[in-house]
């Protein structure tokens, strides 16, 4: 049996236990005090950060206010001139036929899954030219329907889609002017 390194009677052991407990209690109290100090410092830090943010916003507002006051002194207030809308480009028969040609090519190149939507979109855009009187309605319907049938739509669906889209465009942009 090994002999213990430190031998003490009961009173010495009690003294050591009490002494260690007292030191541990003092250490815990000092750690708790540090924690509270850190918490308080952290609260103060966040409060200062909030105050700094408010100060920055107030500073920015003051800078804007002073700048606008200085500009008011330098530049007298004048109302903005009312600008007229620019005149739209005149629609010519050549530009309308070019647009019809490009619309037919776009319909022919459209994927089958989006074919009806593309036909509707292109017919509506050509309907603007029909409403302006640059292209005859029958001519636009014929070309677009033929392109849609060649791309894969049935003749009935192609004709219905083109006719409806052109009619919607005419309703929206006005009746054809001669043509």
Indicate the domain borders of the chain.
Answer: 9-80, 93-173
Distance, CA of 160 to CA of 140 (rounded, Å) = 13
48: Cα separation from own chain's centroid: 34
Average pLDDT, the chain: 79
- Per-residue model confidence as pLDDT tens digits over 107-132: 999 998 999 999 999 999 999 999 98
Q: How far is CA 59 from CA 27, 45, 54, in A?
A: 47, 21, 8
pTM of this structure: 0.50
pLDDT at 78: 59
Q: How far is CA 63 from CA 6, 70, 72, in A?
A: 76, 10, 14
The pLDDT confidence band at residue 179, using thresholds 50, 70 and 90, is very low
C-beta separation of 134 from 173 below 8 A: no
pLDDT at 16: 64
Listed in sequence order, the residues at least 6 apart from 106 whose beta carbon sits closer than 8 Å to its beta carbon are 118, 122
Cα radius of gyration (the chain)? 43
């Amino acid at each position: 049996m090994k002999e213990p390194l430190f031998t003490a009677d009961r009173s010495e052991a009690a003294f050591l236990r009490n002494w260690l407990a007292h030191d541990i209690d003092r250490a815990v109290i000092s750690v708790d005090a540090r924690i509270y100090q850190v918490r308080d410092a952290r609260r103060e830090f966040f409060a200062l950060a909030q105050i700094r943010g408010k100060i920055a916003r107030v500073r920015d507002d003051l800078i804007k206010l002073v700048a606008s006051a200085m500009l008011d002194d330098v530049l007298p207030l004048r109302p903005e001139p009312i600008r007229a809308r620019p005149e739209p480009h005149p629609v010519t028969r050549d530009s309308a036929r070019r647009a019809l040609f490009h619309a037919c090519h776009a319909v022919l190149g459209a994927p089958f899954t989006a074919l009806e939507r593309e036909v509707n979109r292109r017919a509506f855009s050509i309907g603007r030219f029909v409403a302006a009187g640059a292209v005859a309605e029958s001519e636009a319907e014929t070309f677009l329907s033929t392109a849609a049938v060649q791309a894969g739509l049935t003749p009935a669906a192609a004709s219905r889609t083109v006719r409806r889209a052109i009619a919607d465009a005419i309703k929206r942009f006005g009746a054809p002017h001669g043509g």
